[in-house]
Structure 1
């Protein structure tokens, strides 16, 4: 079950995306909306303050190769909240280890009503891999559907082979974590049910014990006791 409780038809629509977009080559230099609160693009899209403000951006995830740090960097730290991740843009880079930081940052931004731009230098391989993993878990999608969902909005993405392998691996990781969470929740519910029933049984047993200790007739209640009048030996008997 997807966490947003969408129907299969609604999920298909989410994956397919808008069908009326005509992709142009120059759109590679722009950012595209993947979710209403999440955009993906290249570094150049993060350099225009008026554009960022017009899009309603509040948070920016800057993912860069360490060698690019002198140029790919936060440009407007006074206006936006930034998360900077230094990585190596090659197939050996472990993205799964870094992804939880990015996901936590994006989740918090969205929960606060914010809007997030995720970018790397070109917006082709590195940052799309993070966004694919995010939407995969967000909608409980397979890795193929998550990849198609992002590609259907930013046509030029192409994660390298190493990143694509990790995207596939992440599906098993997040599904396992969801299964553990469901098991823990079910176990907690069952434990609460057993505890509640035990309290009810204990209460019933206590009532039974109290009932067994009560006298059949309450000797302190005069309504249940008949005391005959005292016998007067000098009283005249009448026939």
Structure 2
């Protein structure tokens, strides 16, 4: 099996893609690119058995409705709610709220934070996949799933904060150490130095591991009530098992 992890940013400079090959109880990083453009990302997705994208696959349905109502001049605030309370469902998707309930972490708001720029890029990439005959099921049932590296790391008992940006290379190195200790079956090969130098690259690798968990069915799924919303907003797949199951279930 080949899984791909994509740490998607608004521009290529902060985007990384990892290819991980799985066989015989082992996993090997066979390619890792920091500074990935759209063409490379699309080709990586098309060639993968499962691809995990660290980026929202959609916007909150209620936010979309709100923008449409605003355009028509007909915004209505829900009765009995004031301030942040009525804006919560505009800022956070259902899956974001589920992730918070289950992990204590809150994903960036696609409608009220800068990650919206990356999501615009992601929307164009998903459209290109559809044009090439591989439409994406935003609920995570197809070849592309939405992932959240910080939540995966926390679920796996690994450091999940404080390793971002050049000022925290020591912490990033410690995360790589812990990851390789927890997953001795993962061979980073020639790409270990890049993981230690780039948090984007490391997040791409974690995204590829999350894609493997999804491929094996070792992740949470939306409930029947959440299905319709997940189909439009997207759904973050959270691992439900330890790292070791990623190879023992091969």
Q: TM-score range by the shorter chain?
A: under 0.3
TM-score w.r.t. length of structure 1: 0.26
Higher relative contact order (CA 8 A, sep 6+): 2
Normalised to the residue count of structure 2, the TM-score between the two structures is 0.26
